[in-house]
Structure 1
Amino acid sequence: MSRSLVIFSHGKESGPWGIKISALATVAQNREFDVESIDYTDLTDPEARVRRLVARCSGEARPIILVGSSMGGYAATVASRQVKPAGLFLMAPAVYLPGYAETDPMPRAGQTFVVHGWDDEVIPMANAVRFARRTQARLFLVGDDHSLTGQLRFIEELFRLFLDRLKN
């Protein structure tokens, strides 16, 4: 049986191998998942990011897990309706924001975890609560800002739990 593939989608101001993605990729590799991180640095339009992610997943035979941070969380959520991943792990997802085509994105995934900082200065914490309530996602609010790097060890532990639940 082939290994599941974890595909990471970074945020607007970061890159494909930033601090969070690099740390979580190591967690996934240690759990025998294959990993990829899509480079969106040439795309500022969230819908173009969704299209790139869907195109990458098209025809993929392995089970897919989507991980997204901020705008990457939006892209992973919207793409999940077509990709139908086994899991969706979102960090400070850009949901319910002006300027995005999908004002109320509804994911389609086997399991959804959302991590959001209480002190997020970019995306209001209330947006994550609303999204989790509406989609029945598991929500984890942590004492951090939008970057979530102050809670990276906890997020790594949470990601281990998330991946282990997908394997069982």
Structure 2
Amino acid sequence: MRGQIILSHGSDSGPGATKISALATRAEALGWRTQRPDFRAHDGHGHAAAVAPRVVQLCEAIAACEAPPVLVGSSMGAFASALASLEMPVAALFLLATPPAIPACAQALDLRAGVPTLLVHGWRDELCPVDGVRDFAARRRLPLLLLDDDHRLLASMDMIAAQFGVLLGALA
């Protein structure tokens, strides 16, 4: 096995979400171990109230890993994964449809400097407009893959899986 990957679903979703499942399958085919925490119990309290418990749950999962894991997240899962990287060592971040902020949440999007990171976002994202993540990536000089897709990114799964494979190959 190459290492551990923790995949975090978005709000109003679950561990079996389409993107998370597809990326877990890709990682497992490449010899990585995966886990998909279930954050649905936190999400019922509203977006802002879900952030801190998601980060705590992620940090607990990271602490249980033998080595720093790769964190993958979609939307709220991406936001929480980035924040967890501030508290725990991680090997890399692969963040999809990432909101630069969660309304009414005191913490804005941030991540640990020096962690290999790829942001993937849809030009037509109706929930997290592209300008916010583009500005975040520009300020930190992070790679940002912009696709002709919406928030769900389902029309771009082949491209996303390929880019994920490239990231994992670089880490192997």
Bucket of the pairwise TM-score, normalised by the shorter protein:
over 0.9
Superposition deviation, residue 99 in structure 1: 1.8
| Secondary structure at the counterpart of residue 67 of structure 1 | strand
Stretch of structure 1 that moved more, 108-117 or 120-129: 108-117
CA distance in 2, matches of 1:69, 1:59: 22
CA distance in 1, matches of 2:2, 2:158: 25
Query: What is the Cα-based RMSD across aligned positions, in Å?
Result: 1.4
Report the counterpart of residue 143 of structure 2 in structure 1.
Answer: 138
Superposition deviation, residue 86 in structure 1: 0.9
CA distance in 1, matches of 2:26, 2:130: 26
| Secondary structure at the counterpart of residue 160 of structure 1 | helix
Structure 1 residue 81 corresponds to structure 2 residue 81: no
Q: Deviations over 1:21-77 (max 9, x none)?
A: 111011101111100001001112111101110111114222300000000001000
1:104-123 correspondence to structure 2 within 5 Å: 104-108=109-113, 110-123=115-128
Structure 2: unaligned runs, 5 residues or longer: 44-49
TM-score (norm 2): 0.91
1:17-166 correspondence to structure 2 within 5 Å: 17-44=16-43, 45-108=50-113, 110-166=115-171
CA distance in 1, matches of 2:42, 2:64: 23
CA distance in 2, matches of 1:136, 1:111: 11
| Residue identity (%) | 36
8 Å Cα contact 1:80-1:109 kept in structure 2: no
8 Å Cα contact 2:74-2:98 kept in structure 1: yes
CA distance in 2, matches of 1:27, 1:132: 25
CA distance in 1, matches of 2:156, 2:55: 27
Report the counterpart of residue 6 of structure 1 in structure 2.
Answer: 5
Change in Cα spacing, 1:109 to 1:99, as seen in structure 2 (3 Å) is farther
Paired residues, what number? Answer: 166
Structure 1: unaligned runs, 5 residues or longer: none
Change in Cα spacing, 1:97 to 1:130, as seen in structure 2 (3 Å) is farther
8 Å Cα contact 1:107-1:135 kept in structure 2: no
Stretch of structure 1 that moved more, 90-99 or 152-161: 90-99
| Secondary structure at the counterpart of residue 50 of structure 1 | helix
TM-score (norm 1): 0.93
